[in-house]
Amino acid sequence: MSTDPQQQLAELRRSIDNFDAALIHILAERFRCTQAVGRLKAEFDMPPADPDREKTQVERLRRLAAEADLDTDFAEAFLNFIIKEVIRHHEAFREEAAAR
C-alpha cells in the first residue's frame, strides 16, 4: 500500500467498492433462491414465514458474526431486514397463487 494518505484512501475505497459489488451479486443470488422457495411454498399452500427457521438462521448468523469479529446486533438486524423482504415476496407469491 502507498505511503500517500490520499492514495491509501483511494485504494481502500476501491476495495470497498469491490466488496459492495460482491454483496449485491450475492444478495441477488440469495433472493433468486428465496423466490424459488416462495413459489414452492405458494404452490403447496405452505405459510410464507417459518419462525423456527428464522430463529435458527438468526442464531447461526450471530455465531458467524462473532467468529468474524462483526457486531452481532448489526448482523442480526441485517438478516432480519432480509427475512422481512423475503417474507414479503413469499406473501406476494401466495396471493398470486390464490388468485389463479
Q: What is the pLDDT of residues 1-45, one digit of tens each?
A: 678 999 999 999 999 999 999 999 999 999 999 999 999 999 999
Number of domains the chain contains: 1
Please give the residue range of the domain that contains residue 28. 5-99
Residue found by looking up cell 428464522 in the block = 54
Residue found by looking up cell 458474526 in the block = 65
Predicted confidence (pLDDT) at residue 100 exceeds the cutoff of 90? no
Q: What is the pLDDT of residues 44-83, one digit of tens each?
A: 999 999 999 999 999 999 999 999 999 999 999 999 999 9
CATH code, 75: 1.20.59.10
54: CB partners within 8 A, 6+ apart: 83
